[in-house]
């Protein structure tokens, strides 16, 4: 059995067995998982990049006993990437099994025991369910569909055939901050009763955004124009804004799109952040949104930079709502951000849990 008390969020799959003890007894699950990630990343330095590369990881409590399982994703190819799955048993991190995870999304399973991994590729979708009993991981087929190419239909949403399931988050392997803060975010960040401006100055952020004041940029993701995920640097705010919003194309340099700004206590610590969203339309069918979250901490201003498709609003509890109409395929999602200094990550949260708070 396992020990301690906690809650939930992320997943994986495949049959199991195994009793590989990775660490000395007496560790906490947090320490064991962190050590394992550091160990595997150190191995990468010896092996080089490729299918042995650990790229990301996920946490999800399959059997809902209070301690999450760890899913390490290896490989850079969508077709051949895999998970190595670990649990915390008898005071150590123990290997359960490996599972293919190419062309797949991870989903929660709201009932007592289980997690889902949903594959979708080449008009074939298949979802499998994991269960964990007494340290033994089992897998069973859960849902399958084939979509004729000529139909031009999208895959059925997992939530349709597994009510309450929601897509879970994988974290970049370079940060273990999500493990350290699992007890905070796994069951929902506590809502602050009231929030104030930095130094109780309502013009604090206005002075930053209307100048080239130095900010510490922390890049939280990598998409089209934001490069260098995990990069941390000091840059003037005006210079940063120009980098993110001015685009070179065949018609020359353009600065286009609308800006939206919100005062929100993003990480619910009692102090307001300043969120800037810049929406750019890529073509007639899709658009994306650059986010800059400005946060004053210990005398420095941090600029958490990210790019997500279709952020439409942010509520007073720091939930970002995302509406995407990408080539006629409409989706809605919600996410939250947690940060402290140079540590930062974004997690997906169930839309059904927060939609009532939407602006």
The per-residue DSSP string of 214-267 comes to: EEEEEE----SS---TT-EEEEEHHHHHHHHHEEEETTEEEE-SEEEEEEE-TT
- Give pLDDT, residue 87: 96
**Ordered mean pLDDT values, 10 residues apiece, the chain (359 residues):** 34 32 64 94 60 84 95 79 90 89 86 90 88 93 84 77 88 92 82 86 94 91 58 91 69 60 90 86 59 94 83 82 63 85 88 62
Beta pairing, strands 287-297 & 115-121: unpaired
Please, what's the largest Cα pairwise distance for the chain?
63
Give the phi and the psi of residue 47 in degrees, each rounded to 5.
-85, -30
Helices (H) and strands (E) in the chain, counts: 7, 22
Chain centroid, CA 147 distance in Å: 29
Helices (H), the chain: 29-47, 158-161, 177-180, 182-185, 204-209, 237-245, 351-354
- Give pLDDT, residue 332: 75
End-to-end CA, the chain: 44
Write out the two tokens for 95: 């290997």
CA triple 15-21-25, angle to 5 deg: 135
- Give pLDDT, residue 14: 32
């Amino acid at each position: 059995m396992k020990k301690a008390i906690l809650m939930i969020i992320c997943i994986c799959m495949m049959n199991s067995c195994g009793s590989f003890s990775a660490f000395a007894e007496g560790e906490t699950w947090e320490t064991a998982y962190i050590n394992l990630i550091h160990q595997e990343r150190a191995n990468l330095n010896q092996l080089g990049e490729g299918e042995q590369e650990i790229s990301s990881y996920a946490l999800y409590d399959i059997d809902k006993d209070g301690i999450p399982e760890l899913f390490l994703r290896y490989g850079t190819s969508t077709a051949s990437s895999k998970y190595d799955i670990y649990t915390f048993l008898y005071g150590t991190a123990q290997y359960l099994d490996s599972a293919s995870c190419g062309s797949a999304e991870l989903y929660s399973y709201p009932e007592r025991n289980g997690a889902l991994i949903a594959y979708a590729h080449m008009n074939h979708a298949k979802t499998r369910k994991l269960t964990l009993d007494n340290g033994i991981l089992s897998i069973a087929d859960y849902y399958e569909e084939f979509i004729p190419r000529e139909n031009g239909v999208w895959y059925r949403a997992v939530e349709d055939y597994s009510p309450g399931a929601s897509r879970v988050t994988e974290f970049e392997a370079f940060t273990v901050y999500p493990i350290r803060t699992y007890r905070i975010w796994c069951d929902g960040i506590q809502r602050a009763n009231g929030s104030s401006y930095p130094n109780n100055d309502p013009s604090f952020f206005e002075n930053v955004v209307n100048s080239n004041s130095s900010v510490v940029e922390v890049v939280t993701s990598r998409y089209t124009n934001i490069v260098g995920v995990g990069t941390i640097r000091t840059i003037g705010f005006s210079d940063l804004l120009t980098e993110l919003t001015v685009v070179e194309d065949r018609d020359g340099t353009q600065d286009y799109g609308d800006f939206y700004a919100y005062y929100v206590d993003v990480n619910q610590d009692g102090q307001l952040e300043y969120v800037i969203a810049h929406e750019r339309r890529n073509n007639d069918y899709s658009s994306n949104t650059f986010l800059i979250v400005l946060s004053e901490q210990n005398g420095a201003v941090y600029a958490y930079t990210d790019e997500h498709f279709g952020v439409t609003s942010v509520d007073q509890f720091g939930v970002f709502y995302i509406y995407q109409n990408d080539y006629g395929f409409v989706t809605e999602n919600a996410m939250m951000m947690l940060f402290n200094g140079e540590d930062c990550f974004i997690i997906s949260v169930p839309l059904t849990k927060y939609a009532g708070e939407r602006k």
